[in-house]
Amino acid sequence: MSRTRHAALCAAAIASTALLAGGALAQTADDLLNDHKTPSDVLVYGMGYSGQRFSPLTQINKENVKRLVPVWGYSLADNQGAEGFPVVKDGIVYTTTHSATVAVDALTGKTIWRVAHEYPPETLRVVCCGIVNRGVAIYNGKVIRQLLDNQIIALDAKTGKEIWKVHSPEPVTIENGYAMTGTPLIANGVMVVGVAGAEFSHRGFLEGYDPDTGKHLWRTYTLPLKGEPGSETWEGDSSLTGGGSSWVTGSYDPELDLVYWGIGNPSPWNPRARAGDNLYTNAVWAVRPKTGERVWYYQTTPGDPFDYDAVQTPVVATIPVNGQPRKVVMQANRSGFLYVLDAKDGKLLAANTFGKVNWASGVDMKTGRPMVTDVYKGALEGKNVTVWPSVSGVTNWQHMAFSPQTGLLYINTLHVGMTYEAPEPPKLVPGRPSGSGTVKRTVVTDDPNIRGYLKAVDPMTGKSRWETPYRSPNYSSTMVTASGLVFTGVMTGEFQALDADSGKVLWSFQTPSGIVAQPITWERDGKQYVTVMSGLGGVYAQRAGDPNLANVPLGASLWTFALFDK
Q: Based on CB atoms, which residue is closest to another protein, 288 or 441? A: 441
- Taking CB under 8 A as the binding criterion, the range among 25-33, 34-42, 114-122, 243-251 that sits at the site for another protein is 114-122
Closest residue by Cα to residue 316 from 293, 355, 272, 286:
286
Specify whether the CB–CB gap between 224 and 239 falls below 8 A: yes
Q: Per CB under 8 A, which of residues 243..262 are in contact with another protein?
A: none
Q: Based on CB atoms, which residue is closest to another protein, 115 or 544? A: 544
Closest residue by Cα to residue 59 from 406, 479, 408, 484:
484
| β-bridge partners, 386 | 419
Instruction: Please identify which residue in 57, 112, 127, 506 interacts with another protein, judged by CB under 8 A.
Output: 127
Tell me if 124 contacts another protein by CB under 8 A. yes
Q: Per CB under 8 A, which of residues 80..99 are in contact with another protein?
A: none
78 in active site: no
Instruction: Please identify which residue in 65, 82, 128, 330 interacts with another protein, judged by CB under 8 A.
Output: 128
Neighbours of 107 (CB within 10 A): 18
Tell me if 327 contacts another protein by CB under 8 A. no
CA 450 to chain centroid: 23
Closest residue by Cα to residue 408 from 416, 396, 420, 400:
400
Instruction: Please identify which residue in 110, 125, 369, 471 interacts with another protein, judged by CB under 8 A.
Output: 125
How is residue 55 annotated by DSSP?
A: E
Q: Based on CB atoms, which residue is closest to another protein, 358 or 419? A: 419
Specify whether the CB–CB gap between 394 and 413 falls below 8 A: yes
The number of CA neighbours under 13 Å toward the Cβ of 405 is 15
C-alpha 59/C-alpha 97 separation (Å) is 30
Tell me if 459 contacts another protein by CB under 8 A. no
Residues 402-421 as x/- pattern, contact with another protein by CB under 8 A: -----------------xxx
Q: Based on CB atoms, which residue is closest to another protein, 266 or 314? A: 266
Helix (H) or strand (E) holding 17: helix 3-22
Specify whether the CB–CB gap between 562 and 529 falls below 8 A: yes
Tell me if 391 contacts another protein by CB under 8 A. yes
C-alpha 552/C-alpha 548 separation (Å) is 8
Instruction: Please identify which residue in 20, 75, 122, 553 interacts with another protein, judged by CB under 8 A.
Output: 122
Least Å from the CB of residue 392 to another protein: 7
Q: Which residues, at least 6 apart from 241, have a Cβ–Cβ distance to it below 8 Å? A: 201, 202, 203, 267, 268, 428, 429, 430, 434
Which strand ranges, in their side-by-side order, compose the sheet holding 185-187? 185-187, 190-193, 205-209, 216-221
| β-bridge partners, 284 | 262, 298
Give backbone dihedrals phi and psi of 436, rounded to 5 degrees, phi first.
-60, -25
Q: Per CB under 8 A, which of residues 193..222 are in contact with another protein?
A: 199
Neighbours of 161 (CB within 10 A): 11
Least Å from the CB of residue 441 to another protein: 5
- Taking CB under 8 A as the binding criterion, the range among 46-54, 236-244, 363-371, 536-544 that sits at the site for another protein is 536-544
Tell me if 526 contacts another protein by CB under 8 A. no
Of the candidates 41, 253, 277, 307, the residue annotated as catalytic is: 307
Q: Based on CB atoms, which residue is closest to another protein, 59 or 542? A: 542
Q: Based on CB atoms, which residue is closest to another protein, 198 or 497? A: 198
Tell me if 284 contacts another protein by CB under 8 A. no
Q: Based on CB atoms, which residue is closest to another protein, 115 or 129? A: 129
Q: Based on CB atoms, which residue is closest to another protein, 35 or 307? A: 307
Q: Give the DSSP per-residue string, 345-384.
A: T--EEEEEESS---SEEEE-TTT--EEE-HHHHHHHTT--
How is residue 426 annotated by DSSP?
A: P
Least Å from the CB of residue 438 to another protein: 8
Least Å from the CB of residue 477 to another protein: 19
Q: Based on CB atoms, which residue is closest to another protein, 236 or 448? A: 448
Least Å from the CB of residue 352 to another protein: 27
- Taking CB under 8 A as the binding criterion, the range among 85-93, 122-130, 135-143, 370-378 that sits at the site for another protein is 122-130
Q: Per CB under 8 A, which of residues 343..362 are in contact with another protein?
A: none
Q: Per CB under 8 A, which of residues 542..561 are in contact with another protein?
A: 542-545
Q: Based on CB atoms, which residue is closest to another protein, 52 or 133? A: 133
Give backbone dihedrals phi and psi of 84, rounded to 5 degrees, phi first.
-70, 155
- Taking CB under 8 A as the binding criterion, the range among 27-35, 105-113, 116-124, 312-320 that sits at the site for another protein is 116-124
Buried b (16+ CB within 10 A) or exposed e, 27-56: beeebbbebbeebebbbbbbbbbbbbbbbe
Specify whether the CB–CB gap between 528 and 562 falls below 8 A: yes
C-alpha 394/C-alpha 350 separation (Å) is 17
Size of the site for another protein (CB under 8 A): 34
Tell me if 392 contacts another protein by CB under 8 A. yes
Peptide bond preceding 268 in cis form (omega within 30 of 0): yes
Q: Per CB under 8 A, which of residues 422..451 are in contact with another protein?
A: 433, 435-442
Least Å from the CB of residue 123 to another protein: 9
Specify whether the CB–CB gap between 537 and 80 falls below 8 A: yes
Residues 168-197 as x/- pattern, contact with another protein by CB under 8 A: -----xxx----------------------
C-alpha 68/C-alpha 305 separation (Å) is 45
Amino acid symbol at 344: K
Instruction: Please identify which residue in 120, 169, 320, 448 interacts with another protein, judged by CB under 8 A.
Output: 120
C-alpha 397/C-alpha 264 separation (Å) is 11
Residues 24-43 as x/- pattern, contact with another protein by CB under 8 A: --------------------
Give the residues lining the site for another protein (CB under 8 A).
120-122, 124-129, 131, 173-175, 199, 307, 391-392, 419-421, 433, 435-442, 539, 542-545
Catalytic residues: 307
